[in-house]
Structure 1
């Protein structure tokens, strides 16, 4: 796999002087497929851990849906889905650790993966807080949309459709924003002793400099999420770990490193 990197192109991100922006490689449209292949290899090499994290990822939306049914507030389904996508990158830290351990020739363990978030704890928790703020902001917007729903209308599909459509469009915007901010932020913070601003701006620069390949990668993630929900969350058991592993390989393939990296 080619590891030819370029200096970060001049744009509003690299010229901001807010923090150091680590140079990125110019990606091709085939690169996300290669990341998926490497993710599948990692899943096959660590099947027990893959199953564990997959069950966790499947349990979260199941619990959200159960609470929705319990409360009867059907309009919370869309914001709950987006919330799941907002916190997904933060929860994937354990999966990134597994791929990193496999790359180094080590045997990954659950405890080692759980401790992954502590390597750059202040900045990684800062990322978690950033995602949480975005999640809370989205929930407030969703509450406003819900407040627009006339109380005299029956909660059937025809009446709910305009509000679900509005929530879907706004939710898609929030999701793209989160992807722009955090596509590779978590892996950067895990591997490098850098501040949160450097990690976020580096991730943003990578996405901005490779709009089409990264949009393709975002669409792959979206399809995986849709398949997960279409299969009553069972698809998450396999798909979410593969996406997590693939994201780690995408980070290594996209952003300049100090030494040559090995691939499984």
Structure 2
């Protein structure tokens, strides 16, 4: 998580009685992985504890009794709330670490190189994950043969590509989604939905599919359809889509 501190024109009361409401007006918490932002009293914020904070000038350890963001004070000048790693005059080589602008030098390369992802990489992810999901669904069902409808699966795969475009361009697609599924909806009762992830590994995806309980459809002639689409960005970062549905003939 990243913390947006108030600008130089904003001040925080560093006394123990400082009202949390004032802090909430000037402190914003950012999820650096997703770009989502939260106020410090947002119940949906995934950041529950703050142990340390850093920027390009120093690193501060939280020495307050509270570590929950909504109950903390974020005045980094307060020695009773935050302990800096580097202090001038205490023997630490902070002057050597800082550049001419009095900022700590970054260990990150000055120029980042982003490499394109080969098609073979995304194809391998799609094939491996599809096989794992099918295998797990068949194990979870434990009743007869699980039939996979490949034709519907190919339709869902094309639809996932459209959904990635929608996500990138922030456009409305409900009508287009329904139109693309019209052929399927005219023949089957369809239950299911698409799922989207920043891909890291298969296990969290398989666990979430398990929690959907889609595989528990026990209609006599039920079929299933699955599509996995991996959209490449750069340097092995991928947007991973899964569309899984149950199908019952009308």
TM-score range, shorter chain: under 0.3
Q: Tell me which structure has the larger Cα radius of gyration.
A: 2
- Which one scores higher on RCO, CA 8 angstroms, separation ≥ 6? 1
Normalised by the length of structure 2, the TM-score is 0.24
Q: Answer 1 or 2: which has greater helix percent.
A: 1
Normalised by the length of structure 1, the TM-score is 0.23
Q: Answer 1 or 2: which has greater strand percent.
A: 2
